[in-house]
Amino acid sequence: MISEWSQQRVIVTGGAGFLGTVLCAKLREHGVSEGNLFVPRYEQYDLTTEDAVNRMYDEAFGGAPTDVVIHLAAEVGGIGANRDNPGRYFYANMAMALHLIEQFRARGFHERDHSTFVQTGTICAYPKFAPIPFNEEDIWNGYPEETNAPYGVAKKAAWQMLDADKLQSDMRSSYVLPVNLYGPNDNFNLHSSHVIPALIRKCVEAQDRGDDHIECWGTGSASREFLYVDDAAAGIIRAAEVMEEPTPINLGAGFEITIKQLVELIVKLTGFEGEIRWDATKPDGQPRRSLDTRRASKLLGWNAQVPFEEGLERTIAWFREHQADPMARL
């Protein structure tokens, strides 16, 4: 178990991204120094290749051994992006995990005291018609929703690799499945973003232009659960601290909301007064998503803290403040 973060050398893949930025800030608050925190950038390290992963481990911390890897990096998007890039999303996510986990083990990092590998999974790995709320015991009981299955299967395969390494080499690791995340500094690109940032951008920009309506995909009948990014970061750090094996653990907020209700709430909070038009020719995605979070509470002592409406208000305020910045809309 990790009780003193100041002594750990930590690599956070995806540490410059949405979740990673928050998680790295929390690691610093826990005592991880700048010299002991390494965030590989894609421009220098394409982690889908074995050569780049080896070079990253060689160069991080001046060649000193790594104690903790928190693997957040992913290639993923909304329904449209998943439909356009299924092969790439499977390959990229499988290749990154494959090389990162294998080299962590092969270099003997797993033999160090307090070492661990943290893999973030995805609830896209759950069967399309899994019982609600999703329980970790049901994760193999069916095929995922088709539009995001390649991404979900790749992430689930990484969990199995960690499980195999635990059996073979007693390698410590953890595997967490965060529900859909949201919060300030999210990806607000209308094609590749998830539903909350896309809806916030649609409503704010439609209001600014004086539009009389916005268009939304599907029928609005599908349901989702959302977790504020700070809560997710806290859950991941806690998993790194206490877990010895990759028992899958849901990280969620413990509520379910339909997309129709979500759109209406964001419309209300942004102040957009136009009509909501639904395009039923577009897919709804997985019919329902809601997580059973009892395992996280029991094993991690973790529960979500930020109320949903408060989190939305913070996210809307952030986008309004930054919408003129092109980087906020990439």
Q: Which residues are catalytic?
A: 151
The count of residues in the chain is: 330
Residues 6+ apart with CB under 8 A from 280: 218, 219
Which DSSP helix (H) or strand (E) runs through 103? helix 86-106
Type of residue found at 209: R
Residues 6+ apart with CB under 8 A from 266: 196, 199, 200, 203, 312, 316
Tell me which long-range contacts 81-86 makes (C-beta under 8 A, separation of at least 24). 81/191, 81/192, 82/147, 82/148, 82/150, 82/151, 83/147, 83/283, 86/149, 86/150, 86/151
Which DSSP helix (H) or strand (E) runs through 75? none
Joined together, the tokens standing for residue 98 give 């494959």
